[in-house]
Structure 1
Amino acid sequence: MSAASRPSRLTANRIRAMKGGTPIVCLTAYTTPIAKILDEHCDLLLVGDSVGMVLYGMESTIPVTLDMMIAHGKAVMRGSKRACVVVDMPYGSYQESKEQAYRNAVRILQETGCDAVKLEGGEEMAETISFLSARGVPVLAHIGLMPQQVHTTGYRSVGHTEAETAKIRRDATAIGGSGAFAIVLEGTVESVAREVTDVLQIPTIGIGASAACDGQILVSDDMLGLFSEFTPRFVKRYDELGRRVERAVAAYASDVRVRLFPGEEHTFKRREHARKTYGSATDAPSLATIES
């Protein structure tokens, strides 16, 4: 494929320009094979810190490290050609100061080649986002339910009370003027999500925030039925791959135990021409040479 015919990768600016248009399709990705499958269908792939719970069995996203995020970011970039790839900044990698956030964001961009970073926080993080944006770091913001604050806020939907609604409004206003190219709204009641989407000039990407948002994102393993520890109300399961994998593994185990696998079609045989060509055992090539 020539350079001219290759699909161009969606940038943060192009995602921003999708505000109010066709809804933006986003999913999480953590590995090269999954990124290859998702890339054709998604506008944005998020290398989420949810990787800690989904792939590593952690109880929350808090223990996820910067090195982990960079490793998975590299893997997703190898599998992606078209989608805008965003890598989460893990807990503790940006909250200390805007300078710390900049150093770690630059490291993520340089080592993974991704298009942008994502960080959680509203008005308290607006200055940091402005600092990053002014220095060429595209930022996807995240307000509403914030998993990295689970120890102080819990894991529940927000916007039910006037105090919660006022907080989301303040966060949205601050982020809207910070330079972020889009904002994730998580676990936010529909009326508040709709209001924020209508007011902001940048796209809102909902996860448990209704169809009023400019786009949607889910954890891929949730919507595919691969992660079954718990299923949030806002997740629609489009398949039950976990059950299908379990059935396949059970069938394999059964075949192995009764010697149905491997069969003749899966077994290497000595080639006839090898026996004819070499006159004695000492002249014959090694088994590794004969079999392939």
Structure 2
Amino acid sequence: MRGSLLARQLARRLLSNLPESTVYGGPRPQEASAARRVTVTTLRGKHRRGEPITVVTAYDYPSAVHVDSAGIDVCLVGDSAAMVVHGHDTTLPISLDLMLEHCRAVARGAPRPLLVGDLPFGCYESSAAQAVDSAVRVLKEGGMDAIKLEGGAPSRITAAKAIVEAGIAVMGHVGLTPQAISVLGGFRPQGKTVDSAVKVVETALALQEAGCFSVVLECVPAPVAAAATSALQIPTIGIGAGPFCSGQVLVYHDLLGMMQHPHHAKVTPKFCKQFGDVGNVINRALSEYKKEVETRTFPSPSHTPYKITPTDVDGFANALQKMGLSAAADAAAAASENSGTDGGPKENS
């Protein structure tokens, strides 16, 4: 009986994280999204009905919450985090372990969309077995629903097939494959010649044959993307590939206009439309914060919520005097004098 009573008391404590009792609002149980969870089957249905599929990248809890709230179909935890989050010039430096940290944060913030995690450079090239092991980690440790891998070389097709046979959904990626910039000579569009265009379509077909549920087409001419989309029975997701794909994907920071530094403005992709001016909004807010702190207008009375009564201030000041902290006692008394009767600062008249 005593054990069960203690268990009930402990349960009540664990479930009583009320905002009123904590400084920052307290932990709240994450509520399941009202909308039904997006799955690979959901995407197949949209593709069959000719409905465009929306994909956006996310790299942390806040961006995942925004993507989820907007009703985006697929949340891609991209290795582009290396560039837009960690400041590298390419996607190559990010490790699988670091990608898993990003995946876990996104999984906590996006309960509704299909979650796809990139396999970063260096974690799947050696063998099909290595690719399967890495993909398993992305699902088991990262909380993803599927993985994405780049390229269409025979070894990549073999890896994709092995991952699918291991029971893991795979999104392919052809055209410009950022992990291959060493071979490509930089971030260069693909499919601009007959041979290159044919290769894009052939590679996409090979990935479909390997069992991929969709294929990203990056930085290819619109006619090439249209041909690939027509040839495939699975959805194509375009990025810099024109309007004829089954869906579109953009990088979170790019579409929101977050990167306002001249360096980032110079490298922002030509194909990216900025749907927001978030970078300038952030800059203005930070500048305003700096100004208000320096002019002592922040924090205002409305942002000074924690009170102490005048009686307790007197007792506190006396205790400080006994400690030999006369200046501290005077500071407390002066602050109380310049505060309202409830211990908060007075409103400016």
Q: Tell me the amino acid that sits aligned with residue 63 of structure 2.
A: I
Shift of 1:112: 1.7
State the distance in 2 between where 1:280 and 1:165 align: 80
Shift of 1:130: 1.0
Deviates more, 1:16-25 or 1:47-56: 16-25
Find out whether 1:105 has 2:142 as its counterpart.
no
Q: Tell me the amino acid that sits aligned with residue 221 of structure 2.
A: V
Among 218, 238, 245, the alignment partner of 1:206 is 238
State the distance in 2 between where 1:123 and 1:270 align: 67
Structure 2 gap ranges (5+): 1-28, 320-331, 333-341, 345-349
- Contact 1:138/1:180, CA 8 A, preserved across alignment: yes
Q: Tell me the amino acid that sits aligned with residue 170 of structure 2.
A: V
Change (3 A) 1:119 1:280: closer
What residue in structure 2 maps to residue 145 of structure 1? 176
- Contact 1:268/1:291, CA 8 A, preserved across alignment: no
What residue in structure 1 maps to residue 56 of structure 2? 27
Among 184, 187, 190, the alignment partner of 1:158 is 190
State the distance in 2 between where 1:279 and 1:146 align: 66
TM-score relative to the length of structure 1: 0.90
Alpha-carbon displacement from aligned partner over 1:49-104 (angstroms, at most 9, x marks no partner): 00010011001000010011100000000001110000000001111111000011
What residue in structure 1 maps to residue 36 of structure 2? 8
- Contact 2:310/2:343, CA 8 A, preserved across alignment: no
Structure 1 gap ranges (5+): none
Among 67, 81, 90, the alignment partner of 1:51 is 81
What residue in structure 2 maps to residue 190 of structure 1? 222
Q: Tell me the amino acid that sits aligned with residue 264 of structure 1.
A: P
Deviates more, 1:139-148 or 1:34-43: 34-43
Aligned residues: 285
Shift of 1:253: 0.9
Shift of 1:23: 0.2
Shift of 1:47: 0.2
Find out whether 1:236 has 2:273 as its counterpart.
yes
Among 111, 118, 124, the alignment partner of 1:81 is 111
Q: Tell me the amino acid that sits aligned with residue 107 of structure 2.
A: M
Change (3 A) 1:178 1:248: same
Shift of 1:271: 3.0
Change (3 A) 1:268 1:186: same
The structure with higher relative contact order (CA 8 Å, sep 6+) is 1
What residue in structure 1 maps to residue 205 of structure 2? 173
- Contact 2:32/2:111, CA 8 A, preserved across alignment: no
State the distance in 1 between where 2:343 and 2:44 align: 55
Shift of 1:6: 4.6
